[in-house]
Copies of this chain bind each other. A is one copy, B any other.
Amino acid sequence: MHKRIVVAGGDGFCGWPAALYLSAQGHDVTIIDNLSRRRIDQRLGIQSLTPIASPDQRLSAWYEITGRRLHFEQVDLAEDFDGLRAALAEIRPDTLVHFGEQRAAPYSMKDAARKLYTVNNNIRATHNLLVALTDLALDTHLVHLGSMGVYGYSDAGIEIPEGYLNLSVQDEGSDRREIEILYPASPGSVYHMSKVMDQQMFQFYAKNDRLRITDLHQGIVWGTQTEETRLDERLINRFDYDGDYGTVLNRFLMQAASGLPLTVHGTGGQTRAFIHLQDTVFCIGLAVENPPTAGSRVKIINQMTETHRLRDLAALVASVTGARIALVDNPRKEAAENDLRVSNRTLLDLGLRPITLAEGVLGETVDIAQKYIHRALPEMVAALSTWTVEQRPGVVTADALARGRQILT
């Protein structure tokens, strides 16, 4: 059945390909976005490596190629509750996919102003959505992009479940009881902290107002294009490679294409969860088609397909591209080494067949990095945001290069 879907933050890295995918599936899609991601790039003096078109150009191209209409409304979720409420009152969406948040951990740690912006923007955006849906008494299914980072990486040693943990509790004054709790949060940045706070709001509104909510705890996304974005260059997706917004694989690929060493933070022993962008949009589709019923708990799904240590990723990229590796100081406050086991049963059961790094789909992104290298500002790749004032940014020195050699041997 075709749905009316709002994609909040539908101009961004995951939001744009998700909007196209849902439109291609036959849904009636409206993007709501304040274009903040483009403005942040301007302010940081950076741009997407790929030449992304304006929203109007994107929508025209999509119509020209597919005959499908995408709608766009420029509304600031965080700052304009009335505008958001009016848009939702008119559209009355069956589903609202919420990407509309500041999504970079390093950016959120850059300075006081960015810490404040991240919390103010993300909490207000999410809460405005929740209050608007409640106030309008809409039966909209809210699908939120959360993060694997809410769980943290140094805790119980058990496989991370999909959101909830079953416990058995008892004390001297009580009988033994089985309870279910939200898996304890341990965010590693102000950005991740804002996602933990989102979680708490979802728990409350699902319970008090019977809102139907799915929270997708997503791993680090790799890849740039999807079946839809590669149909035409005007539909191309953004490719971020700077120290704030570039995810680890993009930054490695850009460094390789620029003849720079791949910068690995600390020992590279950090294990993280990953997912390909094509799988991301497929999973969003699965989430949209499988809403929880009203009155049930928040449905939490781990949206990731594989885990890797960062040094192994660097070695993989180095072997494909011939790049060198530099072990730089870790600007983040995190465990140097961690294990990570994650349950992703829900999406596998719904039919996800993961695209893995080992399959070499890396190739497309390598090609993109090379094709648009003339647009690059290689000096922007270094991660300059530090987690505390005592820490040093992740930059390359001769010593860092020497230490990096050990990764490949």
> Could you list which residues of chain A lie within 8 angstroms of chain B, going by C-beta atoms?
81, 85, 111-112, 115-116, 119-120, 123-124, 127-128, 131-132, 134-135, 137, 155-159, 165, 167, 169-171, 173-175, 177, 179, 181-182, 184-185, 187, 190, 193, 196-197, 200-201, 203-204, 207-209, 333, 341, 387-389
Contacts and interface: CB of A to CB of B under 8 A. Distances in A.
Tallying the copies of this chain within the complex gives: 2
A174 B190 contact: no
Given A155-B179, A197-B201, 16 more contacts: A116-B124, A116-B127, A116-B128, A123-B197, A156-B177, A156-B179, A158-B169, A158-B170, A179-B184, A182-B185, A185-B200, A187-B200, A190-B204, A193-B201, A207-B333, A208-B333
Nearest to A196: B200
Given A158-B169, A173-B158, A120 B124 contact: yes
6 contacts: A81-B112, A81-B116, A119-B124, A156-B177, A157-B175, A197-B197
Contacts of A207: 333
Contact of A184 (B111, B119, B158, B181): B181
Nearest to A332: B208
B185 A184 contact: no
A220 to B, nearest CB: 20
A157 B174 contact: yes
B124 A112 contact: no
Contacts of A158: 169-171, 173-174, 177
Contact of A137 (B128, B182, B389): B389
B208 A388 contact: yes
Contacts of A177: 156-158
A208 B387 contact: yes
B116 A131 contact: yes
Nearest to A169: B156
B209 A204 contact: no
Nearest to A161: B171
Contact of A341 (B159, B173, B179): B173
Nearest to A333: B208
Most buried by B among A124, A159, A208: A208
A174 B187 CA distance: 22
Nearest to A179: B156
